[in-house]
Structure 1
Amino acid sequence: MKIAVFGAGNIGCFFGAQLLHTGAHEVLFVGRQRVQNLIRNAGALTVVPVNRPTISIPADKVSFVTDLQDLIAFDPDYVLVTLKGPQVQAAFKELGDLRFDEKTVFISIQNGARNPDLIRTLVPGNLVLGGMVPFNVTISPEDGSRFCQGSGGTLYIEQSAKTEPMALALREAGIVIQVSGNITGVLYGKIATNLNNAINALSGIGLLAELSQRSYRHIWSRCITEALSVYFAAGIVSLPVWGFPTEFMPYMLSLPDFVCVLLFRNVIGIKPGAGSSMADDFVNGKPTEIGDLNGEIVRLADEIGKGDDVPYCRGVLWLVQEVERRQRSGWGGAGWRPKLTGEQIRVFCTAGASNTVAPAAVDILVTAILVVT
C-alpha cells in the first residue's frame, strides 16, 4: 500500500516512521525543508513512542519531498493530512491544477472539528475521513532530532468502507487505533481537552509543571465548562477522549496539586519535559491553531447567542492572538513567548474578555499583562 504523509512535521513523522518501519508499505513524507534537513543532519528519522521501543530509520531510507508534484506522482492510496489547521488551504492551493486519482483516500488527523469538511471542498472528487490524535509529539530538547510522544492515547479514524486497510496498517505498526461512527463527537471532545494547549503556551513552562499548579488548572476547568455548555446549547454530543467523561474533568482538575500530578503523569501518561504544540508554535514563531480550538468554542457561542457565556475561552483566544500579533510585528524577537501566571490569565478573562469592553481598554489590559513578562 502507498501511504503519503502530507504535512510531515512532528505528528506526521511520528506516524509515518512507524508505518515505514513495518516494511509493508511505501511511505512518502511531504513537508518543509527544515524537517528534511533535521532528518538528514541527524542521519536518521527517530521516533520515541510511549511504552514501546524507540524506532530509528536511516535517513537514506526515508523518502522525503518538499515539492507537491512529487506527492501527485507518488499516486498514494491514502494520504494522512497532518498539516496544522492554518496551513491547509494554502497547502492544497499550491497543487494548482494537479489532481489526485479518485482512489486516493484522505484522512485528516488534525486539531479542530472543521478540517475534514474544509479538505472535502478542496478535493471534491475524493473520500475524506476525519481522525483524532489525543496526544502531542514534540522534538526532543536534548538533541533536537527525535520525535517524542508526549502521552498515551488512542488514534481515532472515521468509519467507512475504505477505513479498514489503513486501520490494519496502523495496528500492524503498533499504533493503538479505534474506528468511530461519530468522529464529529470525538473531534469536539478533543477540542475540550485541547483547550489547555493555549494555557500551557501562555504559561511558558512545561505541561507537568503547569498542571501541577491549581491556578492554571482553574483556567482549563472554566474553559472546559464553557465548551460543554455551548455544546449542549448547540446540540453537539461530544465523546470522551481519555476514557472517562469529559464532564468529569473540571472535578478532577480541582483535586489537590499532588493528586493531579500523579493522575497526569501515571494515568494519562504525560512525560516530564512534554509541552503543547502551541508552545512549540510560539517558540518557532508560527501561526497557532487557536482558531480551531478556543476560537471554535467562541464561534459556536456567538452563533447561538451565547457569546457572553464564554469569557475564559474568549480571553485565552485574545491573549494568544495578541502574542501572534506581536510576533508578526517583530516585538520581543524571534521565538518570544510570554510567561503568564494563572492569576494573570484569570484576571484578564474575568475583567477584559467581554464583548462589551471597548477595544482600547482590552488593548491596554493585554499590553499590561504581556509587557511585564
Structure 2
Amino acid sequence: MIVVFGAGAIGCFVGGMLAASGTPVTLIGRAKAMAPLEGNFTVCALGGQPMAVPAMHVTRATEPGALAQASTVLVCVKSGDTKDAARAITACAPQNARVISLQNGVTNATTLAGALGAERVTAGMFGFNVIQSPAGSFSQVTEGEVVLGETGADLVKTFQPTEIHAATNPNIEGIQWTKLLMNLNNALNLLSGIGLKTQLQDRQWRRVLSVAMSEGIAVARADGVRLERVGKVHPKLLPSLLRLPDILFSRVANAMLRIDPAARSSMVADYHAGRPSEIAWLNGFIVDRAAEHGLHAPVNTKICQLVNSAFAAEDRVDLNLSAGQLLQ
C-alpha cells in the first residue's frame, strides 16, 4: 500500500494519478483538506484530459494511524511539518516501510533520515506546479517531472502507467538544489500579485529572479554542490537567460512559458489559506548558507523580510509590489 502523507495539492495529484492507474493509495491529510475529496475527484496532466479517480482505489484518512498499512510512504507535507511527520511515521508505520520525500527545499530528506534511518529514506524532487479547484480537481499547470534518488527505482516503475514522468538520478542533491533555485520564484510570485506566466513574461521580475538565483548559485558553489539540469536549460545559464529582452526570452525559453494562465506558486496558496510560509526553507536557506560562507545575499534577504512581514499581518490582503522595490 502506498500512503501519501500530506494530502495537499501535490499529494492528491500524485495519489490520484497512481489510483487512476489502478494502484491502491491511502491519502492522509487534515480534515479541511480532505473535505473536497468526499466524493469522486479528478486529476489532469498538463495539456491532458481530466481523469476520474476510482473510489475503490483510494482510502481517505485524517489520522496518522492509517500509516499502519504502508509499504511506501510519500511525504508531501510542508517543510515545517517534516519533524512531526517523522515522529508519526516512527509511531505508526511498519519499520520496513520505505519513505520518499517529495517536498520543497533540500533538507527534508536529511531530517527524515535522521529520525528514521538513512536506509529507509529516498530524497526526491517534484518538478511542477499543481492547482486545486474548490470542486476537488487537481491539475498540473507547468512542465516538469518527478526525480528520485537511485534507491527510488522501484517507485519509478510504479509511476510508469501514470501520466507522471519519473526518473532516478544519482546526483539527487544537485537536482534538489536546482529545484531550490527555481523555487526562489515562489516568494516573488506572491509579492508580485500576478500569475506565474505573466510574471515570467515581465523582464523586470525576471531580473529580480536572476539576481536571487545568482546568489543561490554562489552558495551552491561554496557548498560544493554540483548542480544538475532540470528542464531544458542548465541552472548556471538561467540568470543570463532571465535577463534577455522579452522578445528574445519568449523565443529562447518557450518551454518555461508553457504555463496555465491560472498558475500561481504554492506560497500564494499557503498565504491565502492562512498557513505558515516555507520561506525559511527556500530563500531563507540561501540567506543562512550565504552567511555561513561569508557571502552576501541582499535580494534574498529582502525577499524574506517582505514575505515574513506579509505572513505576519492580521489581514492577508493581495500583494502588488513592483519588481523595482526589490532591487532598491
TM-score band w.r.t. shorter chain: over 0.9
Secondary structure of the 1:322 match is helix
AA matched with 1:7 = G
Match of 1:269 in 2: 258
AA matched with 1:338 = L
CA distance in 1, matches of 2:206, 2:46: 24
C-alpha RMSD of the superposition: 1.9
Instruction: Verify: 1:152 aligned to 2:143, yes or no.
Output: yes
CA distance in 1, matches of 2:59, 2:275: 25
CA distance in 2, matches of 1:100, 1:16: 18
* Cα displacement string for residues 247-271 of structure 1 (whole angstroms, at most 9, x for unaligned residues): 1111211222244356666455211
Report if aligned partners of 2:102, 2:123 keep a CA contact under 8 Å in 1: yes
Secondary structure of the 1:79 match is strand
Report if aligned partners of 1:242, 1:268 keep a CA contact under 8 Å in 2: no
AA matched with 1:9 = G
- 1:263-302 matches, within 5 Å, as 266-267=255-256, 269-302=258-291
Change (3 A) 1:262 1:279: farther
Shift of 1:124: 3.0
Secondary structure of the 1:132 match is strand
Change (3 A) 1:340 1:185: same
Report if aligned partners of 1:102, 1:125 keep a CA contact under 8 Å in 2: no
CA distance in 1, matches of 2:136, 2:189: 23
AA matched with 1:77 = S
Secondary structure of the 1:98 match is helix
AA matched with 1:14 = F
Which of 282, 307, 311 is the aligned partner of 1:320? 307
Instruction: Verify: 1:342 aligned to 2:316, yes or no.
Output: no
* Cα displacement string for residues 131-183 of structure 1 (whole angstroms, at most 9, x for unaligned residues): 0011111113xx553111121112100102xx232110011223211101111
Report if aligned partners of 1:211, 1:260 keep a CA contact under 8 Å in 2: no
CA distance in 1, matches of 2:121, 2:102: 11
Instruction: Verify: 1:202 aligned to 2:191, yes or no.
Output: yes
Match of 1:85 in 2: 79
Gaps (5+ residues) in structure 2? none
Shift of 1:310: 0.7
* Cα displacement string for residues 26-74 of structure 1 (whole angstroms, at most 9, x for unaligned residues): 210011111221122xx322111113332112557531100111222x2
CA distance in 1, matches of 2:321, 2:271: 14
Report if aligned partners of 2:65, 2:92 keep a CA contact under 8 Å in 1: no
Instruction: Verify: 1:127 aligned to 2:97, yes or no.
Output: no
CA distance in 2, matches of 1:187, 1:98: 28
Secondary structure of the 2:95 match is coil
CA distance in 2, matches of 1:172, 1:311: 45
* Cα displacement string for residues 67-108 of structure 1 (whole angstroms, at most 9, x for unaligned residues): 111222x2x11111011101112344456x724323211000
Match of 1:355 in 2: none
CA distance in 2, matches of 1:115, 1:29: 20
Percent of pairs with identical residues: 30
- 1:165-314 matches, within 5 Å, as 165-261=154-250, 266-267=255-256, 269-306=258-295, 309-314=296-301
Match of 1:26 in 2: 24
AA matched with 1:3 = I
CA distance in 2, matches of 1:61, 1:183: 31
Bigger radius of gyration among the two? 1
* Cα displacement string for residues 204-227 of structure 1 (whole angstroms, at most 9, x for unaligned residues): 111111112122111100001111
Secondary structure of the 1:197 match is helix
CA distance in 2, matches of 1:59, 1:35: 17
CA distance in 2, matches of 1:208, 1:268: 6
- 1:21-100 matches, within 5 Å, as 21-23=20-22, 25-40=23-38, 43-59=39-55, 62-72=58-68, 74=69, 76-94=70-88, 98-100=91-93
Which of 85, 94, 112 is the aligned partner of 2:105? 112
CA distance in 2, matches of 1:20, 1:199: 34
CA distance in 2, matches of 1:20, 1:254: 42
Q: List 4+ stretches of structure 1 deviating above 4 A.
A: 58-61, 261-268
Gaps (5+ residues) in structure 1? 348-373
